[in-house]
Amino acid sequence: MDDTGVFRDLLVDTLGNEGPYESFVETPDGLKAYVRTQQYDPDWLAAAVQAFPVPVRYKAAEMEDRNWNEEWERQHQAVLVGYDGGSVWVRAPFHPHRSDVDYELIIEPKMSFGTAHHPTTAMMLAYVAELPVAGRRVLDMGCGTAVLGILAKLRGAAYVEGVDVDEWAYRNALENAAANGVELALRLGDATSLTGSFDLVIANINRNILQADMARYVSVMPPGATLLLSGFYEADEGALIARANELGLTFKDKKCREGWSALRLEKTDH
């Protein structure tokens, strides 16, 4: 797997946290970033792009005046995620309620990542819906919108901690937890800040970060705990499973969708 996803996330972090950009949409050709006309600063953008660790090509254009809330609502679709035994309906506040699903999650689409549209998020939602979660302590690492942690809490998890390095994601996660009526322990941080003990650790990030931080995840997992990993291609499974084995984890099973993979691993009892 190349580092495209890593640099994309870094670019979003730069434009959203260091700059005035308010929303982002991933496209087959790259990334669309939106900013209010009065806040657009071409000199700041040029400097930010020049300082970026890899070359970035971009163009700027002023969008025609229209009702962008209405436009966004028209384009953003709710997602039905099927799993073994049921379904999860992930919708924005402006989408209709459904009573024919097992779980319904309300996720404010302030960013396009973590809304279940990506195969990795959908596979991880399926895992969280299928596995025994009630009464367990859950860590949602790189929580993004907190969609996975919210589902775990709705399924009866005793405690859910969500951690993300991105302040934008952190604020969005707080809003989404409130919208779903669940209490999550959300905070800014990375894997070096982990403490405590978790029966289920969820990490939907990317291969490089997963390999670098897996030992940290294992350090807060008691024997018998489960680790769910996604954010990488099927071709990268071998390297991640090998690293997991080095750390005392056993591969249990996997899910695959559109070339992406999700792994379920378990910490051995010794």
Using one digit for the tens of pLDDT, what is the confidence trace for 79-130? 999 999 899 999 988 889 999 999 999 998 665 456 778 899 999 999 999 9
The neighbour count for residue 156, using CB atoms within 10 Å, is 11
Q: pLDDT digits over 142-192, tens only?
A: 999 999 999 999 999 999 999 998 888 899 999 999 999 999 999 999 999
> What percent of the chain has a predicted confidence (pLDDT) above 90?
63
Rounded to the nearest angstrom, the gap between the alpha carbon of residue 246 and the centroid of all alpha carbons in its chain is 26
What secondary structure letter does DSSP report for 16?
I
Q: Residue 161: which of 142, 185, 178 has the closest Cα?
A: 185
SS3 110: coil
CB 49 within 8 A of CB 33: no
Q: Residue 152: which of 205, 103, 79, 83 has the closest Cα?
A: 103
